[in-house]
Amino acid sequence: MDLPTQLRLALQSSHYPVPSQTWLTALATSRTPPPPFQSLLATAKARLLAADLTTPGLVDPAHATPLPENISDPNVPERTLTGNVHVQVVDIENLARSRWEQVEELEALERGEGTRGREIIRLPAPGQGDDDDDGVNGGADLGDEAESQGLAAHAQRTASRTTSGGGGGGGGGGSGSNATAPGGKKATHRLVLQDHAGRTAYAIELKRVDRIGVGVTGIGEKMMLRSGTAVARGVVLLEPDNCVVLGGKIDAWQKPWLEGRLKRLREAVENRPSPT
């Protein structure tokens, strides 16, 4: 079995999007001799988590199920997804908090602050103290052994967060990725999800998913919606059993989203009619 095929099967078994044969071949042949398989697999996972799923030539359409064309139609009372669908998060909102509380939460993130219980902590700014995404992009070469080791460590940390976050209540296992509280056990989040074809849909937590939260879920973070996931009136209903949070983010999207979201919330608060 050749190396690209081994990579494809390993990614499939880990619930990752399946890249195109061209993408896999370019990755597998970028160094001679190739690095150890586990290092190469970790590199593939890290680059997929940091890439835009809509990038031409990234995802193999033969192994990717898109969202239904009319998924947002509110006139369809109920349906289910007919296959596993990989999506990325392009927006998130905590519906359990008022607009002003959301402004305060996002301003803290903008300052690089998070919370652990009642303790305010300083989170690393993008590109500082966090090597998870250094040198990770869809078109870069593998480079030297140090880069491969860094990407391998990134994927291992992501995998450990995935396993520790599923099935527990509230805190997602207490890993460092959850330094900013995701809103508590009673939070309800609404997300906008995008598939590899660029199609978007609203999603809402029907039951609490621990690894979803403002400041925890990155913009561009990857998820897999399992076959059979319910869609009601154009909204995907999320539960711990029907979605797999893979992790990752797209750095180029995070700051514009934060600034745009803050602007809209501030305008909504300022324009709110005063009580009479």
pLDDT per residue over 51-101, tens digit each?
A: 999 999 999 999 999 999 999 999 999 999 999 999 999 999 988 888 788
| In the predicted structure, residue 261 carries a pLDDT above the cut 50 | yes
- Answering whether pTM is above 0.85, one says no
Q: How far apart are CA 8 and CA 78, in angstroms?
A: 33
Give the closest residue to 238 by CA, choosing from 191, 196, 271.
Answer: 191
| In the predicted structure, residue 210 carries a pLDDT above the cut 50 | yes
Domain ranges of the chain: 3-270
Report how far apart, in Å, the C-alpha atoms of 217 and of each of 94, 181, 226 are. 11, 11, 19
- Edge to edge, the sheet with strand 85-94 lists 79-80, 230-232, 235-238, 200-205, 189-195, 85-94, 222-225, 243-247
Mean pLDDT of 184-203: 93
pLDDT per residue over 107-155, tens digit each?
A: 887 787 765 444 445 555 544 444 444 333 333 333 334 444 444 444 4
Q: How far apart are CA 211 and CA 173, in angstroms?
A: 9
What pLDDT, on the 0 to 100 scale, is given for residue 276?
56
* 158-244-192 Cα angle (round to 5): 100
Q: How far apart are CA 171 and CA 164, in angstroms?
A: 10
What pLDDT, on the 0 to 100 scale, is given for residue 102?
81
Phi-psi region of 172 (alpha: psi -120 to 50; beta: other; left: phi over 0): left
CA 8 to chain centre: 20
What pLDDT, on the 0 to 100 scale, is given for residue 99?
77
Model confidence at 175, pLDDT cuts 50, 70, 90, reads very low
Please give the single-letter amino acid code of residue 227.
Answer: S
The values of phi and psi at residue 228, to 5°, are 95, -5
Model confidence at 37, pLDDT cuts 50, 70, 90, reads very high
Fold category of 3-270 in CATH: OB fold (Dihydrolipoamide Acetyltransferase, E2P) (2.40.50)
What pLDDT, on the 0 to 100 scale, is given for residue 20?
96
| In the predicted structure, residue 259 carries a pLDDT above the cut 50 | yes
